[in-house]
A and B are shown apart, each in its own frame.
Chain A
Amino acid sequence: MTELLDVEALRAKFLNTVFDEKQFELTAEDMSNYAIACGELATRYTDPNDPDFQAPPTMPTCIQPKKRMPKGFPKIAGLGMDAGKAVQSYKPIRPGVKLTGKTHMHDIYTKTGRSGRMVFFVNRMDIFDSDGEQVAWADTSIVIRERPKE
């Protein structure tokens, strides 16, 4: 059985501090195959020869940081499950553009149900192009179900 997490203490210590930074780029082949597998028909997502070819708008959510949690974050008992994803697109992402993803813990919150309390951890990756302009952000929500200590 696990101790209930002190969510306010975790928020105070870990929110809004970048804990991971990575450089990456998306290839035209991956962008096109990603779009086609999702069922996209618009050629600006599926055809690298389209003059407006770009990554499908949800593709930033597939980029994973090198570190999953901030340094010093406590190990939490229980199986973490992927609770959701959110993505915001500001500019089209073109193939071969060097991108930088900076990840911070964006939110920690709880929901309580009949089976106990669930704690949600939201990590946000802000994605910038080589000019330093933000092109997107992508959130990953992980939920852990707590059980009170007996």
Chain B
Amino acid sequence: MTIATIKDVEFGEELPVFDPDTSLENVKKFATAAHWFGPRFTDHEAARKEGLPGALVPGIMSQGFLAAMIHRWAPQANVQNVDTVFRAPVVVDEKYHITGVVTDIDEASGRVEIDLTVTNDAGETRVFGTAQVQIPTG
């Protein structure tokens, strides 16, 4: 179910899980749009030479995944603030899952707080964050 107004939102509600596209092809498209051209984001071998486990999904892309997930749940939501902590690398071409839970609701203003987490297939947290979101009041 998608969210139209604040009345549709429940405290503790879990957002539908979002599995983002972390393919090398997609990360290259993102890096071009963001003007972030480092080979650590677009070339596995170059990244490994830097001591990394492989090419990295830029942190700003992980942050973008979080906002996209919110808009998939609530298409008219206005994402006002996203605070993101990069705990461990997100590696290109590996699978990740983004979960979110509503932790605060102000029905009068339409303001909602959502905790968001990016985990890998092993269930390890790679990125987490909090978003402040404005939902239409009616």
The residues of A with any CB-CB pair to B shorter than 8 Å are: 29-31, 33-42, 45, 56-59, 61-62, 81-89
The total of Cβ contacts below 8 Å across the A-B interface reads: 103
B71 engages A42 (CB within 8 Å): yes
- Give CA–CA (A30, B30) in the complex, Å: 9
Q: Are B59 and A89 in contact (CB under 8 A)?
A: no
Residue of A nearest to B76 (CB): A42
Report the separation of the CA atoms of residues A57 and B64 in the bound assembly, to the nearest whole angstrom.
8
Contact A39 B68 (CB under 8 A): yes
Cβ B61 vs Cβ A37 within 8 A: yes
Chain B interface: which size bin?
35 or more
Chain A's closest residue to B26 (CB) is A37
Known contacts A39-B69, A41-B71, A86-B83; is-contact A61 B21 (Cβ 8 Å): no
Is A37's CB under 8 angstroms from B36's CB?
Answer: no
Docked CA distance A82–B18 (Å) = 24
Contact B80 A38 (CB under 8 A): no
What DSSP secondary structure best describes chain A's contact surface?
A: mixed
Seed contacts A39-B21, A62-B35; 10 additional CB < 8 Å A-B pairs: A30-B34, A31-B33, A37-B27, A37-B61, A38-B20, A39-B68, A40-B64, A56-B64, A83-B85, A85-B60
Interface, chain B (partner A; CB < 8 A):
18, 20-21, 26-27, 29-30, 32-36, 59-61, 63-69, 71-72, 75, 78-86, 129
Q: State whether A34 and B34 are in contact (beta carbons under 8 Å apart), knowing that A41-B75, A84-B84, A85-B59 are contacts in the complex.
A: yes
- When A58-B82, A83-B85, A85-B84 are in contact, do A34 and B75 touch as well, CB less than 8 Å? no
Residues B21 and A58 in contact, CB atoms below 8 Å apart? no
Residues in B whose Cβ lies below 8 Å from that of A61: 60, 63
What's the nearest-Cβ distance from chain A to residue B98, in Å?
A: 9
> Do residues A87 and B64 form an inter-chain contact, with CB atoms below 8 A?
no
Complex Cα gap A138–B68 (Å): 18
Cα distance, A40 to B64, chains bound together (Å) = 8
A56 to B70, CA, bound (A): 12
State whether A58 and B72 are in contact (beta carbons under 8 Å apart), knowing that A83-B86, A84-B83, A86-B82 are contacts in the complex.
no
